[in-house]
Structure 1
Amino acid sequence: MKKLLTALVLGLATFAPAQAQEAPDFATMPMEEIAAEAEGLHPAALYVLAGRLLVEGQGQEAANWMYAGQLRYRFMIAALGEAAGNERVLFSALTEQVGRPVNEYIAGDPDEWIAAMQWALEWDAKTPNAVTSKTEHADLLQEVRQGLESLIVQVDTSRDEIREQRTANGLENR
């Protein structure tokens, strides 16, 4: 996973606008630094952090950061509109390579899953976003946040079905 994350992040410079080309190298940036500087980093950095945390066995923390990254990334893409084409490609790759394994882990406990999504919403609400203006795109931000809030409700009301489906797919329920 580490090699793939490195390749995806290095690809960010190719896909993203000029400001991302000057971005720090997320592949070598210490996890603590990514977390401390998250408000000013491209959302891909939060996926890198989540992937590293999952590899280290810190599944809850990985899910927290993955959902924060997902929220920020969806917001950024919405704000960019048609200009987000290449960002959509990177987001899709990160969602598959990092998001899928994080979700496979966190969905094993619906309470932890809900907690991760709530953590991301709370972190985003209290943390400035230096990448995408929360004031200029307030309506888009609310739409993206509502999507995550709806997922929380869906998980909460589908606990039994989630556990049954995971069992049928050979996945652990915690």
Structure 2
Amino acid sequence: MKRLRFVIFACLGLLAAPASSQDVKDMSNAQIVAAAPDLHPAALYVLASRLLAEGKGQEAANWMYAGQLRYRILLATGQIGGREGRPLFDALTEQVGRPVNEYIAGDVDEWIAAMNFALEWDAAEPNPRVDVSKHRATVDEVRGGLERLRDSLDGRRDEIAREREKNGLENR
């Protein structure tokens, strides 16, 4: 857990503070949710990590997938690079995404619901970091990747359950 906190806070040190100039690490979960559209997607991973630690796995997965979707859009459109680009995304995916996925994949319906939440939230909330009209095809391609993953889960329920059991993970 200490390593996870270090990675998250080290990564957040690379990010610009939100408009309020309040550090994300000092924001409450409710404040992060309220400011989510304007925050760097890494902030949603911070939120997901907190929620998972609080035993709120579904909420954690919802926000992790929302952050991952926005982050993938930034990467695909070239709106982000350097230290806060691929290296930060990879670190967050490993340190936050892996444990969230280990939890949420234990119930395929919840997993699908998390992806639906992310897709619906992204469609409903403005993305000030990307000119969506300029990058429509790329945004649609990234969203399509998550939609295809979501759609593939239903037909693989038994396979997912067997693989999780083989790896010693709980099926809920």
Task: State the TM-score, normalized to the length of structure 2.
Answer: 0.91
- 1:46 Cα deviation (Å)? 0.4
Aligned to 1:91: 89
Percent identity over paired residues: 58
The amino acid that maps onto 2:48 is A
Greater fraction of residues in helix:
1
After the TM superposition, list the runs of 4 or more consecutive aligned residues in structure 1 that deviate by more than 4 angstroms: none
Alpha-carbon RMSD across the aligned residues, in angstroms, is 1.7
Residues 7, 91 of structure 2: 8 Å contact kept: no
Q: How many residues align?
A: 168
Query: 2:102 corresponds to which residue?
Result: 104
Deviation of the 1:11 alpha carbon: 3.1
Runs (5+) with no aligned partner, structure 1: 15-19
- Pairwise mapping of residues 19-38 of structure 1 onto structure 2 (< 5 A)? 20-23=15-18, 24-38=22-36
Counterparts in 2 of 1:77 and 1:165: CA distance versus 1, 3 Å: same
Deviations 1:89-147 (A, max 9, x none): 00000000000000000000000000100110001001111122222211111010000
Q: 1:80 to 1:5 in 2, by over 3 A?
A: farther
CA distance in 2, matches of 1:89, 1:121: 24
- Check conservation: 2:8, 2:46, Cα contact below 8 A: no
How many Å apart are 1:9 and its aligned residue?
3.7
Secondary structure of the 1:80 match is coil
CA contact (8 A) 1:79 1:140 kept: yes
1:40 Cα deviation after fit: 0.3
1:1-174 matched pairs, under 5 angstroms: 1=1, 4-14=4-14, 20-23=15-18, 24-80=22-78, 84-86=81-83, 87-174=85-172
Distance 2:154 2:24 in 1: 34
CA distance in 1, matches of 2:29, 2:53: 12
Distance 1:136 1:6, change over 3 A: farther
Cα shift at 1:157: 1.1
